[in-house]
Structure formats: C-alpha cells, structure tokens
Amino acid sequence: MNDTIKKYLKQLISKYGIEICNDYRRLKGLLKDYCGEYQRDINILTTAVQEGIPNEILKTNSSELDEWKFNTLVKKLYDNHGISENFARLAVMTWAEVLGKRVYANRTESEKKVETNKENINLEIENLYNERNYSIDISIDKSQRDIVQIIAGGSHSLALKKDGTVWAWGVNNFGQLGNGTMEDSSIPVKVESLSDVVATDAGWDHSLALKKDGTVWAWGSNGSGQLGNGTIGGSIKFSSIPVKVNI
C-alpha cells in the first residue's frame, strides 16, 4: 500500500479516535478527501473495515499478529469479498502497521513477495466490486420497464427509461441517487426534477445526465468539483438532487 495513505490513516485515527475503524463509509469519504488519487487502495482498506479486520487486529493481546490470525483475516477478505490473496495480505499488513502491530516473523519476506507479484496482478483489481461476476436479479415493476440504458457507478447504478426519466439504486452516501435523500436504496428510485434525458453516466460517487435540450446535469459528490457548477467542496460537498452544469 502507498505510504501516503498509511500516513493519512494514522492521522485520521489520531483525530477521530479508533471508532473511525467502525464506520467504513465515513472513513472512505475522509480518505477520498485527503488522498483520492489512491482509489484502489482506499477501496481495499475500507472493505477490510467493512469486514471488521481492524477490530480483529486490535483484539490481539500481543504486539504481534501471529501467522494463524494473519492468514485467517486474509482468508476472510478473499472468501467474502473476492479480493485476490495478494491484495488481501497487503490490506491486513497495512492495518496491522497502522494499528501498531507487527505481523508474524516472516512478515518482511511475505511483504516482499506481495510487492514482487503486485505488478503482475495489477489488473486483477481494476474494479474491486467487479472482480467476480455475479448475476443479480433486480426487481423492476411495471412502471420501470422500457429501459434504454444502464450505467454502473462505484457502488450505485442508473437506468434511463424511454420516457426520459432516470432511476437509481445502491449506495447514496453523497446523494448520488438524486432523490433528495442520503439513504441507500436496494430498489430503483426516481431521480428528482429530471426529464427529457437522452443519456446518463456515473462516476464513483456522482451521476450525470444529458438532456434533450443539450444541457448537462449532475448530482452526488462534489469534493473535487464533479458537479461542474463552479463550486468545489467547502459548504457544497455534495448535492442529493440534480444541479445544472455550467457549460
């Protein structure tokens, strides 16, 4: 893992306390604000938080994470989230280091082996959540048929209907579903105040729509100016409803 992200992890734990290790969404948002260019590493490390890896490490009484515990945690990430063994090892090693624990005696050799293999398997985790192919049956009622386009973001999805309306579902921590709330949804919800849409697209945690009149609308995270309305972060870090892009 990049040393920069390790540094910020330590700083965030120092600032917010060890409780930040229990809130993977908040931690992901904070890390993206500090070092968003390391998106892959952020995904892996926050998935480890979701799986409870930091808490498991903290339960270790000794100053060293023994081989059995280390391999058990690696296996959890591999089995439950489809992360390759090499990256799962890196994630556990990073959290152990950040939390002040040494990995068992062979740690240095193991880490060198992981780093050596890292270049050869880099493509394995281009998209953490697409590494394994899952077939998911999405329940869409009668009013949500006639879909003409499907788009996938980081952890949310969009569907464009023939009538020009847009529907969204999934994670909604930055309002990327566009329905005026911050609540996740496991079923499609209609994006508010948006009609005559001819195309959609999505970033990791923001969404975009092109209307028939040529205007572009955006909603979701605005930490790096993704909304395109002249603001970046500050008091307008996100929008849960579509805003017009200044173009």
- The residue range of the domain holding 10 is 3-124
* Residue 202 forms part of a structural domain: yes
Which residues are 207's β-sheet partners? 202, 219
- pLDDT in single tens digits along all 247 residues of the chain: 778 888 889 999 989 898 988 888 999 999 988 888 888 889 999 999 999 999 999 888 888 888 888 889 999 888 888 888 888 888 999 999 899 888 764 444 544 455 445 444 444 544 544 444 444 444 545 544 589 999 998 889 999 999 999 999 999 999 999 999 999 999 999 999 999 999 999 988 999 999 999 999 999 998 888 999 888 765 578 999 999 999 8
Query: Does pTM top 0.85 for this prediction?
Result: no
28 and 59 within one domain: yes
101 and 40 within one domain: yes
Angle between helices 39-50 and 3-16 (to 10 degrees): 50
- How far, in Å, are 41, 213, 220 from residue 174 at the CA level? 20, 27, 5
Query: Over pLDDT 90: what percentage of the chain?
Result: 41
35 and 9 within one domain: yes
107 and 10 within one domain: yes
The pLDDT value recorded for residue 207 is 96
92 and 12 within one domain: yes
* Residue 193, domain CATH: 2.130.10.30
For residue 156, how far is the Cα from the chain centroid?
10
Q: Write down which residue in 78, 93, 124 finishes a domain.
A: 124
Angle between helices 67-81 and 39-50 (to 10 degrees): 100
Residues 6 or more apart whose Cβ sits within 8 Å of residue 219: 175, 176, 178, 191, 206, 207, 227, 239, 240, 241, 242, 243
165 and 99 within one domain: no
* Residue 137 forms part of a structural domain: no
* Residue 195 forms part of a structural domain: yes
186 and 91 within one domain: no
Which residue type sits at 15?
K
* Residue 130 forms part of a structural domain: no
8 and 111 within one domain: yes
159 and 83 within one domain: no
Q: Dig out the tokens for 232 from the structure.
A: 């970046």
215 and 169 within one domain: yes
Angle between helices 39-50 and 85-98 (to 10 degrees): 80
Q: What are phi and psi of 127, to 5 degrees?
A: -135, 110
Q: How many Å apart are CA 39 and CA 223, to the nearest integer? A: 14
* Residue 226 forms part of a structural domain: yes
The number of folded domains in the chain is 2
* Residue 57 forms part of a structural domain: yes
Helix residue ranges, H only, the chain: 3-16, 24-35, 39-50, 53-58, 67-81, 85-98, 107-118
Tell me how many helices (H) and strands (E) the chain has: 7, 10
* Residue 133 forms part of a structural domain: no
Q: How many Å apart are CA 39 and CA 32, to the nearest integer? A: 7
* Residue 8 forms part of a structural domain: yes
